[in-house]
Structure 1
């Protein structure tokens, strides 16, 4: 145990008195990444066993909003009139996400359209519909939406903007369940065995550092399962692990709330560490407490405790939140005039209206900002907005307007006052094949880590876009399943 982070003990094969079962590939976890891994490993001819900690499959993926970040010219994009390409998608992701593994990010972009087709072939439902307004999630079954920083500066200059959020045809905040249902059903149809209420609590690793099996704990029983070809860890995130959060994400305070399920306790990361795999980007997090909808609030400005703007307000809500988290005292205020005044519609964010003000000086004093700071900031902003420009942060002209219409109002959107929900982005470093890597980027033989147990493509919420968990998670899950089964990705595609 280190820093109160409990790392499972590695078991030597010599210490295993008997194996309950022996298969080619073990998949630990049946969320989106694990399910896709199991399907591909089975298709490649491997004998597969799914080991799931909960009483059924789905994981946090089934509780998500069901958005897959995909592009490169999907059928949905074409119907909506967007001619996206893999090259444009890659240019955006390389610019915005600054991925740790460029090859993995480029592979995801290159295969994104084909991956969308594969998901549909499995029965995952996507409508040929488009929502063009700013939204965090959709209450209806509409599919295509803008879910990242594609239109924000400087990324809109790096690549031609295109919407890439593909939401499954489910309703409400937990539409992800409609994406998981057909994938879980496909596992049953193909007779892929799964055991539930079964926690993987340790890895069996031989003297050559090859992972050859797992230790499983069930109510009243503990046993071992041998893996002839590989173990795929797809156990989810570490959102619920207080020791990991405390160590790596100290800026998350008492008002922050994790988005996840009870089993998101970091076991995937801890299992990987036990076998010598390298945890990376553990300080990466995507917090959110969006100021939109309504979209007109984006035409306001957001200032910190110094009375200064610090980011363009039209960015993805997670990018804005990540910047707010890092401001002095974690304080931030949304300033609007009477023309665009409205209450933020995401009520669980608990953004608070401070008051209305007849003068900017009075608002500045009430917010206890440095004298003259807010007056100066608003004057500079309004002067540019009159000309249709934002020289400081280049907010898109669609969201620019002078804030001088009548009285003003201020909302407290501070990180330590409002409720910011979050998901973690760090995890075990893995390559494009899903192989777990050690400190020197060498693969741990027989070990794969995918989904939220692995480090995401974007390093922080500033680089994230909704769907960058389900999209890459399902894709790299497939690749890991195929690789563990001993079939090359290009060979199987052909």
Structure 2
């Protein structure tokens, strides 16, 4: 993909101070802040209306530092505690962005509510992937998983929009889009951005798009903000970065997450990071009681603490021999996983662990030893192998036993890509040397997520940082950050 020289452009079809590519939550927040900074704002959106993947999401924002929702539920959090927690699991690679995010979280939560995004002062204590109800706070990451619980005080940070159903992200988007309309954020829909326009100094100053088969040229007086989403629908990019991804895995989101914004920004000099990062999910919970089971690979060995966030568990399953994994439960905790889309198959029930071991074709004695060791320690309330939290420990000694196949290439795992454009704390796109690309900003899933992989991801780490850095991008592009 190449850029277009402004010298080759004889006329523009429209112009604005700031042009935003993509009208999901990052684009909407960027548009609002740029407009409030005095800018004429134009959003170029390839769909027939605003929404993005945010509209279809479960509406969870990863927020903390001491929000009203956390306080109402009786949890004490602060920016430093949140920062320690995030850095412990995500690593220091993007520490500057994480610090910026944590420090601004409480104010960002309040800003979201001011725009009409609703959050209940209520708490859901059980293990869940998303809520069909409207509770405002839930555990959505690895805060209680060892060793992170010893590094930072465990606090829930999954803030869910108060809207019933599994797509409450619509409640957030509807509120934000209403504000954009009220305040005069303009949009060009059905417009597929194809290339960025640069001047002789290399500054990004416009975009070429195609609308109903006709070329459209838009000039940006101050700059372009890329908010086009990830690359989960780009077969070529997926094959390059994830050669071991099985055909059974399915991308989440909308059909337009094809990486076009990333490729356009790279052509203009932008750098990328974390392109091999991916979060996959096919959760064994709810119900939460299944977390009390154990997960073993085809060698009959445990390899992850079963109370991990479902994306962390999936990442470890991806690394196992032949990507095989089995969930083992006893009669006291037996239940079927409620996330039906995962299609975890019940293999069978067994009267003994020896019988199960043979049926699963595990090495002789392997599962028997694993179960004996686990039960011995669980009776003492501990798990020296993976330090599974005591809330989820029980000896699995109430036969009969059952096994579910949760293998990565047999169940249906849904994923999103985590890599993308490299940005600074002001949301400026950076080049390979760490310098800002003139006239170019980015936010949302087209940028490298704060979580580099599924082992460190938490539900809400797309909507939370996407909306936050979208706001920063809008102000920064107008020179008012």
TM-score (norm 1): 0.96
Structure 1 residue 101 corresponds to structure 2 residue 57:
no
The CA deviation at 1:374 is 0.8
Report the counterpart of residue 110 of structure 1 in structure 2.
103
How far is the alpha carbon of 1:22 from its aligned partner? 2.2
1:374 aligned partner: 367
CA apart distance, 1:277: 1.0
Q: Does 1:203 align with 2:200?
A: no
Counting only pairs closer than 5 Å after superposition, residues 315-354 of structure 1 correspond to structure 2 as 315-354=308-347
* Structure 1 equivalent of residue 123 of structure 2: 130
1:394 to 368, 383, 387: 387
| CA drift at 1:362 | 1.2
Q: Which runs of 4 or more aligned residues in structure 1 lie more than 6 Å from their structure 2 counterparts after TM superposition?
A: none
Q: Give the 3-state SS of the residue equivalent to 1:392 in structure 2.
A: coil
When the two structures are aligned, how many residues end up with a matched partner?
A: 481
Deviations 1:5-49 (A, max 9, x none): xxx221011111111222211111110001000100111111211
In structure 2, do the counterparts of structure 1 residues 211 and 184 end up closer, same or farther at CA, with 3 Å as the change threshold? same
Aligned partner of 2:304 among 300, 304, 311: 311
Whether the aligned pair in 1 keeps the contact of 2:427 and 2:441 (CA below 8 Å) is yes
CA shift for structure 1 position 191? 1.2
Write the distance in 1 (CA, Å) between the matches of 2:184 and 2:56. 25
Aligned to 1:185, the other structure's residue is in SS state helix
Per the TM alignment, residue 99 of structure 1 is displaced from its structure 2 partner at its CA by 4.7
- Does the 8 Å CA contact 1:300/1:403 hold for their aligned counterparts? yes
Is the 8 Å Cα contact of residues 137 and 172 (structure 1) preserved in structure 2? no
The reply on whether 1:148 has 2:141 as its aligned counterpart is yes
**Which of 464, 470, 485 matches 2:478?**
485
Equivalent in the alignment of 2:462: 469
* Aligned match for 1:223, one of 216, 234, 245: 216
1:53 aligned residue: 46
Contact kept? 2:35, 2:184, Cα under 8 Å: no
Q: Does 1:236 align with 2:229?
A: yes
> Aligned-residue CA RMSD in angstroms?
0.9
> 1:393 offset after TM fit, Å?
0.3
The answer to whether residue 294 in structure 2 is matched with residue 296 in structure 1 is no
Match in the other structure for 1:33: 26
Give SS of 1:25's match. Answer: strand
1:273 and 2:266 correspond: yes
Deviation at 1:363, TM superposition (A): 0.9
Measure the CA separation in 2 of the matches of 1:252 and 1:137.
Answer: 25
- 1:12-27 aligned within 5 A: 12-27=5-20
Is 1:67 aligned to 2:60, yes or no? yes
Counterpart contact for 1:101–1:431, Cα < 8 Å = no
| 8 Å contact from structure 2 (residues 292, 393) kept in 1 | yes
Displacement of 1:220: 3.1
Question: Aligned partners of 2:160 and 2:400: how far apart in 1?
Answer: 39
Q: Which residue of structure 2 lines up, in the alignment, with residue 167 of structure 1? A: 160
Is structure 2 residue 213 aligned with structure 1 residue 248?
Answer: no
Equivalent residue number for residue 213 of structure 1: 206
For residues 87-136 of structure 1, give each alpha carbon's deviation from its aligned partner in whole angstroms, at most 9, with x where no partner exists: 11101001011153211111100110100000000111111111111100
Residues 99, 459 of structure 1: 8 Å contact kept: no
User: What residue ranges of structure 1 are gaps of 5+ in the alignment?
Assistant: 1-7, 489-494
Answering whether residue 437 of structure 2 is matched by residue 428 of structure 1, we say no
**What's the CA shift for 1:416?**
0.4
Q: Deviations over 1:261-304 (max 9, x none)?
A: 11111111111111121121111111000001111110000000
Give the secondary-structure state (helix, strand or coil) at the position aligned to 1:384: helix
Structure 2 alignment gaps of length 5 or more: none
| 1:404 matched to 2:367 | no
**Deviation of the 1:207 alpha carbon:** 2.9
* Matches of 1:42 and 1:88, distance apart in 2: 34
Shift of 1:438: 1.2
Deviation at 1:223, TM superposition (A): 2.0
Out of 412, 428, 444, the position equivalent to 1:451 is 444
Determine helix, strand or coil for the equivalent of 1:394.
coil
1:226-253 Cα deviation digits (max 9, x unpaired)? 1111100001111111111111012221
Does the CA-based 8 Å contact 2:117-2:175 persist in structure 1? yes
SS class of match (2:65): coil
CA contact (8 A) 1:99 1:457 kept: no
Aligned-partner SS, 2:4: coil
C-alpha separation in 2, matches of 1:171 and 1:238:
29
**What CA distance in whole angstroms lies between the structure 2 residues aligned with 1:344 and 1:101?**
35
SS where residue 81 of structure 2 aligns?
A: helix
Whole-angstrom CA distance in 1 between matches of 2:337 and 2:305: 18
Residue-by-residue CA offset, 1:440-490 (whole Å, 9 max, x unaligned): 1111111111100000000001000000000000000000100000112xx
Counterpart Cα distance in 1 of 2:448 and 2:16: 27
